[in-house]
Amino acid sequence: MNGYKPSPVTQTIPVDEVLRGLRSPQKELPCKLFYDHTGSELFEQITALDEYYPTRAELRILREFGADIAARLGPACLLVEYGSGSSTKTPLLLDHLDRPAAYVPIDISRDLLEASAADLARSYPELVVTPVCADYTARLELPVDLPPHARRVAYYPGSTIGNFVPEDARRFMARIADVCGPDGGLVIGVDLKKDPLMLHRAYNDALGVTAAFNMNILVRLNRELGANFALDGFRHYAFYNPVFARVEMHLVSLADQVVRVRDVDIRFERGESIWTEASYKYAPAEFAALAARAGWRVEQVWTDDRGLFSVQYLTRA
């Protein structure tokens, strides 16, 4: 495994953030908590569901336009992938890239990150692969031993940018701009506005995998924080909110109940929810405006033939 360097950092659940969220008027938990070992496996299952169009649409775009996208990035770039997960989409870029200087996958889900980085290093023996296990919403330092002069291009597929409320998305993209520097680039997957029924089905699949993914956050709090959520006391609830152009995932309490998290009692009324994820959908012009406010200019937008999803290439404004 040439050039493969394991990541030194281990992630734990941020207790303060969890308690702050559960004490808010609209209870909430950060969606990064989905991704422990089980959650990452469930997410992989979601990507294969009939109803879940984004992964297939993004893969179609990458298969069709991978060479065009790579040509835009130019030779010898340093590719930094945010939320790389299984890195399934990465080869569709790497196969066309001209002698990339290094590949830095960043993910909070350690097992999956290490396994997929090691796989990738085996498939591309010439490539330096330096995984970083970190929460990219916190201040992020890239390893110091990366090629210092290579052009940095961030890769952020999966429409994970949609999980941020727009102002946080702006802030996050501005931070990516800092990491990439003035000559940097960003290749980003952005889910597009579409028929709300299609969105509803994508987050309410018939097999209940998305429900299990959502519920896993409670399983995780029980196991890792010693919380006592009754798993039959909550239900997955996801819907498209057209006012904000976002899918919202919640866990709804089925009864009046009190849950203990660490030494804190959290009271739930019947019907009250914990908001676990937002997934914003953008029209291309809306996303371009957001990107501009973060210091990026959209150079090119590629979409699938049904106009469901987009992959966009941005440079510094």
Ligand X SMILES: C[S@@+](CC[C@H](N)C(=O)[O-])C[C@H]1O[C@@H](n2cnc3c(N)ncnc32)[C@H](O)[C@@H]1O
Contact between 184 and ligand X per CB under 6 A: no
Q: Closer to ligand X at the Cβ: 160 or 253? A: 160
Residue 11: other Cβ atoms inside 10 A: 16
Q: Binding segment for ligand X among 154-162, 168-176, 197-205, 241-249 (CB under 6 A)?
A: 154-162
Give the DSSP letter of residue 146.
Answer: S
Q: List, in order, residues 6 or more apart from 25 with CB less than 8 Å away.
A: none
**Torsion angle, CA of 156/160/164/167, rounded to 10 degrees?**
30
Contact between 220 and ligand X per CB under 6 A: no
Contact between 85 and ligand X per CB under 6 A: yes
Residue 245 Cβ, how far from ligand X at the closest point, in Å? 18
State residue 77 phi and psi, 5-degree precision.
Answer: -80, 160
Residue 44 Cβ, how far from ligand X at the closest point, in Å? 8
Q: Binding segment for ligand X among 19-27, 71-79, 135-143, 259-267 (CB under 6 A)?
A: 135-143
- Give the one residue of 157, 166, 184, 185 binding ligand X; rule: CB under 6 A: 157
Contact between 35 and ligand X per CB under 6 A: yes
Name which of residues 238 to 297 contact ligand X (CB under 6 A). none
Residue 6 Cβ, how far from ligand X at the closest point, in Å? 17
Residues 271, 289: Cα–Cα separation, whole Å: 37
Contact between 107 and ligand X per CB under 6 A: yes
- Give the one residue of 21, 66, 83, 105 binding ligand X; rule: CB under 6 A: 83
Concatenated DSSP letters for 184-207? -EEEEEEEBP--HHHHHHHTS-TT
Residues 220, 228: Cα–Cα separation, whole Å: 11
Which two three-digit tokens encode residue 313? 């290439």
Q: Closer to ligand X at the Cβ: 251 or 259? A: 251
> Do residues 280 and 162 make contact, with C-beta atoms less than 8 angstroms apart?
yes
Q: Closer to ligand X at the Cβ: 43 or 103? A: 43
The residue count of the chain comes to 317
Contact between 32 and ligand X per CB under 6 A: yes
Contact between 27 and ligand X per CB under 6 A: no
Contact between 109 and ligand X per CB under 6 A: yes
Residue 298 Cβ, how far from ligand X at the closest point, in Å? 19
Residue found by looking up tokens 């009250």 in the block: 272
Residue 144 Cβ, how far from ligand X at the closest point, in Å? 20
Q: Binding segment for ligand X among 101-109, 115-123, 193-201, 225-233 (CB under 6 A)?
A: 101-109
Strands in 273-280's sheet, in edge-to-edge order, are 27-28, 273-280, 246-253, 234-241
Q: List, in order, residues 6 or more apart from 268 with CB less than 8 Å away.
A: 27, 253, 255, 256, 257, 258, 259
Q: Which residues bind ligand X (CB under 6 A)?
A: 32, 35, 40, 43, 47, 55, 83-85, 89, 106-109, 135-137, 157-158, 160
